[in-house]
């Protein structure tokens, strides 16, 4: 969370009067969720084929077997796409978390380097 909201508790307002806070927690959490979804999607995708084993032999002569194979292939491709997108998002969200954390540290350091004015309001 980033904020430059004025500190109303101290009665100050205007530019630079607020505090800036950032937490990498939401980005890291979102990355973890994308990783878990990737794993779950791949587990489901890889289970589709074995789940259809024997269907063709048991339904020999039915035209629905061809349709079923087409649907299976379509779902395998869709789930592979979701898996790949989640894989990308996991890394991208972690990168944002890292960059935001580094930015927070750099900004904090730059403020600490500025001498504090005493006796000025």
Name the residue with higher pLDDT: 74 or 10.
Answer: 74
- The residue that leads in pLDDT, 26 or 109, is 26
Confidence of residue 93 (pLDDT cuts 50, 70, 90): very high
Torsional class of 5: left (φ above 0), alpha (ψ -120 to 50), beta (otherwise): beta
- How far is residue 5 from each of residues 68, 71, 73, measured CA to CA in Å? 58, 53, 53
Q: Are 72 and 50 in contact (CB under 8 A)?
A: no
Report whether pLDDT(7) > 60: no
pLDDT at position 74 over 70:
yes
- The mean pLDDT of 64-86, rounded to a whole number, is 93
pLDDT above 50 for 21: no
Number of other CB atoms surrounding residue 35 within 10 Å:
17
């Amino acid at each position: 969370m980033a904020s430059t909201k004025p500190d109303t508790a101290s009665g100050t307002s205007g530019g630079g009067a607020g505090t800036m806070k950032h937490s990498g927690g939401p980005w890291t959490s979102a990355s973890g969720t994308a990783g878990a979804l990737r794993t779950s999607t791949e587990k489901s995708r890889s289970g589709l084929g074995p789940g259809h084993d024997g269907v063709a032999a048991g339904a020999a002569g039915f035209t629905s077997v061809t349709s079923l194979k087409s649907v299976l292939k379509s779902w395998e491709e869709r789930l592979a796409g979701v898996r790949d997108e989640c894989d990308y998002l996991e890394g991208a969200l972690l990168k944002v978390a890292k960059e935001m954390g580094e930015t927070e540290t750099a900004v904090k350091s730059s403020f600490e380097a500025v001498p504090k004015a005493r006796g000025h309001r």
